[in-house]
Each structure stands twice: as C-alpha cells, then as structure tokens.
Amino acid sequence: MTMKMSQAYIPTLKERPTEAETPSHELLLRGGMIRRVAAGIYSFLPLGYKVVRKVEQIIREELEKAGAQEVHLPLLHPAELWQESGRWDEMGDLMVKLKDRRNRDYCIGPTHEEVMTDLIRNELKSYKDLPQNFFQIQTKVRDEIRPRFGLLRAKEFSMKDAYSFHASWESLDVTYRDMHDAYCRIFERCGLDYRVVEADTGPMGGTDSHEFMVLAETGEDSVLFCDNCGYAANVEKAQSKVPKLKEKIDRPEKEEIYTPGVTTIEKLMEKMNLPGEYLFKSLLYKGEKDYYLAIVRGSDQLNENKLIALLGDPFLGLAEDGYRDLPAGFLGPQGEHGLKIIADELVMEMDWGVAGANREDYHIQGIVPGRDFSPDIVGDIRSARHGEGCPDCQGTLEEIRGIEVGHIFKLGTKYSESMKASFLDENGKAHPMIMGCYGIGVTRTVAAAIEQNHDENGIKWPLPLAPYQVILLTLGKDEKLNEESEKIYAELKGKGIEIIWDDRSERPGVKFNEADLLGIPLRITIGKKFLDSGQVELKDRFNNQDHMVDKDDLPDWVLKYLGEEEKS
C-alpha cells in the first residue's frame, strides 16, 4: 500500500462545503475521501475506502478470534420473511420496500435477523450443533427520516452484524461476554476512546443490551456515568437516585384554580409559584389499542423508552389527536376518564401537587397520589440527569456525549419463536433457539474516529485506521532532493511501510496544509534543511512533535515509531 501523490486521486477542497455540519463530514469531504451522491448516500474515494477497509479488517480478525464465522447475506429480502417475524409492519417506513416485475414485495435489508434465522432454521436442528455465531459486513439501507452529519447518520451505510444461536441462556451469556470482549479489543485496536454503556433494547426486543460509545462532543447520544463505580448507561435507560426535597410545602385544601392559558409546566410553575416537584406532568399516550396517561413530576422529563419498555407496546407514541373531549394542556390523573394511569415512582412519593383539572383553563391543587388517584402501573419512567446520584453506589452521575458505534443484544427467542427456529434437546424435545445479535457501524466508526480526533487543520487519524502511515513531502525542485526522496520512498516501501509520497511540484504551503488535512500520522519532510545538514524532519500529526533525524537512521526510526504507536 504505497502511492505517489502525483498519481493519486485525492480531490481536496480548500473551502468548507455548505452541506458539512460536523467535523467528520467536513473533513471527509475536504480530504477527498467521500462524495455525496444524494441525501444520506455517499461514494467512497480511494483514500476514504482505505480507512473503511482498515476498520473492516480489524473487525474480521477479532471476530474470527472470538469464534464467529463470516458469511454474506443478501441485500434484497422477500417480504414473506419480514411478515413472518411481524416486522414488515412494525418497522414501518424505515425499510425501503419495492416490487419486482411480477409484483412481488421485497425490502432492502435494514438489518438481517430474519434472513439469518431463516438460513439456519432448516439446517441446525440439534442441541449438538449449537452454539453457532455468524457475522457479515454488509451495506444496510434504512430510509431515515432525516439523514444528517455525513457518514454518522446515512441512508446507506456499511455495518458488521453478527447473530448467535444457543440451546441455553448460559450459552448465550458466554458468547455475549466473548463478543463484548471482542468489541472492546476492536475499538481499542482502532485507537478510539470509548465507553461500554447499558442500553435500551428498543424495538429489537430482548433482555440485556450494551452500547459501545466513542466519546465525542458532537455525539448524538448522551451517556450518564459514575466515575466512582464505573456505572455507565445511555440516558434512554439510565437510572439514578434523586435527593430528597429540602423544603416541604404545606398541603393546601383540594381546590380548583382558574388558570387561563397555562398549558405548560413552565407557565404553571410561574402561576402557582411552586417548584416542579409540586406539579404533576400528565402526558397522553396512545398505544396499539389503549390510551395511557403518563405522570411524572413537573421537574422531570418523561423517558419514552422506559415507558415503552414498561408497557411492552412498540406502537406507543404521543397521542396528538387527544382523547375524547379532554382539553390538551389541562390533563390530570384524578377523576373519571377511563385512561390507564402510568405513574413514575417519584410521583408516588409526592406529598401533594397541582394537576390539570381535565377542564379547560383550570388546574387543581392539593392532589394527593394514592388518595385522589391510583395508578394502574407505577414504575421508573423519568429520565435520569447529570448531577443525580449513581444507582449503584454513593457517587454522582456525570453526562458525556458519545457516538454509538456498536450495540450488542441478548435477543432471546423473539425471532426464533416467530420464525420457528427450534432445536431438539437431549430428550428429543423442541425449543426455540436463544439468540444474540451484535452490530458495529463500520462507516460510522470511520466518522466517529474523526469526530474524536481532529483539529482546525484537519484529521488526525489514529495510526491503525490511517489510509497511509507515513507521508513524505519533498520541498523544492533540487534534483538531489528528488533522488533522495525516491530512495527514502523505495526503502520504506521495502520495509512494508504504508507510505504516500507527495512528489508533486506544489509549493510547500500546499503540501503542508494537505498533509495536515489528510491526517497521515507521520510526516517526513525533506527540503532545504536536508541539503544543509543531511537530516530529514519528522512530525507526529497526533501530538504535533518534531524530530530531526539523520537520513541513514530514518528507516529504523520510522519502524520504531510505528511499532510504539501500534502498542500504545
């Protein structure tokens, strides 16, 4: 893997394209690594694709070490498989669906649980054949409502997905652990700063789930973690201990209060001159069949993921059309309305509070949980926040931003039951297989690496992902410099070093700036100083350190540098 820049197609851009919203998006475009084809759809140019392949290779090596076998599943899936699992409808418009000339329905695979389960269900029949673990690296297509941030949220993207099949939960636990460890090695080898966090399983279903988050300010996900005990969870799932209220406000008599136009918690706090802990926030939700009224304290945010998990209703969403003639903005849990009441645990600890009166322009104060209303379900449905107590120890939770690059699930039997993938046990009795699934966003990892590692001049590739390890800049037209460069290039090439030589007749400024933009970890400059002293200049892109090295010592120096970086 070596190249002369005079022959390479690396169309860099000096100006920032307007479409670029985040650093990775801008730098991938400016560095001539990707080009947009349509909204959320990108082509990879030579340099960008090299990085993708590096990530893929690391993934392959580590997964094979963990005992997974590589397969390649189709992009186009028949509707029947998805109808069988029930996700043809459940997934909704996230899938790109199409018909062939005979009017048969297909979708382009947004994920591969169905196809994978179908593949093994007719072949794997005995507990003796289990467990099995398969992976593939595939292009996935998801009709995202709003693709954005370049490769971070694209319509079409490359993903490694793996599926394991087991005869027992214990067996799944072992593989899950192995995959967890393999993922850790993968992201370590990629040179990324990441955290493993407890995650919500979402529409995938299943029990345990962990996400692998690359830490970056521009991340779309929020993670709460405790630096005392190491607890870490996505905010979608995180729990916390909330301190007791300091001042207690005496309970007033139950009384209706005229509150015209007070339809938000903010307005109600102002109107009543009460903290949010003394207000009931009532949110109307609609599930597959029922309507629900979710109640949290006014100071809390309802966590929709927790609510969905609690109710087990994947169709749940805010009921924007309202319910019967109840006035939006003035809802309350008390009274006869026929709604199922889901209350947060902290709501039940409230001494009293103000709730909507279920009557336009009125609220009621002095409402007491348990006395004035009794929830059908009580559970944790609020979002934990920065500064609250760690659920596992006495520490405090802190919030950081992350990019989800990996996600592993204990799926259980959701797909094996619906798709009838069963095995026979020692007694000849059939059971649904127990499944795990494991994903890594390959192209997203490339973008995350840049989000985490860049400066105002460009990308700073971690060495294991860099398209080239070394860039050689020749400055000036002196024939001796050119000859010497040719020698260095050939010599490093001979040592197996991935090197790109900027042999163009560009001015020094152009070469320096492009080298910084492209983010090649080690820069070797040969120019005037070499003619004077016989030394070449090395610069570490990552920590910006310079070294002057005698040309005879160069190959050893470079090998040593690459070796040390690889280890660290």
Partner RNA sequence: CGGAGCGUGGCGCAGUCUGGCAGCGCGCCUGCUUUGGGAGCAGGAGGUCGAAGGUUCAAAUCCUUUCGCUCCGACCA
Amino acid identity, residue 201?
T
Peptide bond into 131 cis (omega under 30): yes
Backbone angles phi, psi at 475, to 5 degrees: -110, 130
Site string for RNA, 443-472 (x = CB under 7 A): --------------x---------------
Q: Hey, is 286 helix, strand or coil?
A: strand
For RNA, the binding residue among 72, 289, 477, 567 (CB under 7 A) is 477
153 binds RNA (CB under 7 A): yes
Q: Which is nearer to RNA, 102 or 477 (CB)?
A: 477
Site string for RNA, 257-276 (x = CB under 7 A): --------------------
Would you say 111 and 161 are in contact if contact means Cβ atoms under 8 Å apart?
yes
Site string for RNA, 170-209 (x = CB under 7 A): -----------------------------x--xxx-----
Backbone angles phi, psi at 481, to 5 degrees: -65, -40
For RNA, the binding residue among 76, 318, 393, 430 (CB under 7 A) is 318
Q: Which of 382, 369, 364 is nearest to 302 (CA)?
A: 382
Q: Which is nearer to RNA, 125 or 529 (CB)?
A: 529
292 binds RNA (CB under 7 A): no
Q: How far is the CB of 538 from RNA (least distance, A)?
A: 10
For RNA, the binding residue among 7, 9, 18, 260 (CB under 7 A) is 18
119 binds RNA (CB under 7 A): no
> Any alpha helices (H) in 91-157, and if so which ranges?
113-121
Residues 6 or more apart whose CB falls under 8 angstroms from that of 191 comprise 449, 462, 463, 464, 465
The 8-class DSSP code of residue 419 comes to T
Would you say 539 and 51 are in contact if contact means Cβ atoms under 8 Å apart?
no
147 binds RNA (CB under 7 A): yes
Q: Which is nearer to RNA, 363 or 414 (CB)?
A: 414
Would you say 46 and 474 are in contact if contact means Cβ atoms under 8 Å apart?
no
348 binds RNA (CB under 7 A): no
Residues 6 or more apart whose CB falls under 8 angstroms from that of 528 comprise 475, 476
Q: Hey, is 176 helix, strand or coil?
A: helix
For RNA, the binding residue among 62, 178, 198, 304 (CB under 7 A) is 304
For RNA, the binding residue among 5, 115, 124, 159 (CB under 7 A) is 159
Spatial distance between the Cα atoms of 111 and 123, rounded to a whole number of angstroms: 21
Interface stretch with RNA, choices 36-44, 268-276, 425-433, 556-564 (CB under 7 A): 36-44
81 binds RNA (CB under 7 A): no
Backbone angles phi, psi at 321, to 5 degrees: -85, 0
252 binds RNA (CB under 7 A): no
Spatial distance between the Cα atoms of 340 and 289, rounded to a whole number of angstroms: 12
For RNA, the binding residue among 110, 353, 519, 521 (CB under 7 A) is 110
Would you say 93 and 143 are in contact if contact means Cβ atoms under 8 Å apart?
yes
Amino acid identity, residue 365?
Q
Residues of this chain, 212-241, that bind RNA according to CB under 7 A: 220
- Where do contacts with RNA occur on this chain (CB under 7 A)? 12-15, 17-19, 21, 30, 38-40, 94, 110-112, 140, 144-148, 153, 159, 161, 199, 202-204, 220, 304, 317-318, 404, 407, 439, 457, 475-477, 505-510, 512-517, 525-530, 537, 539
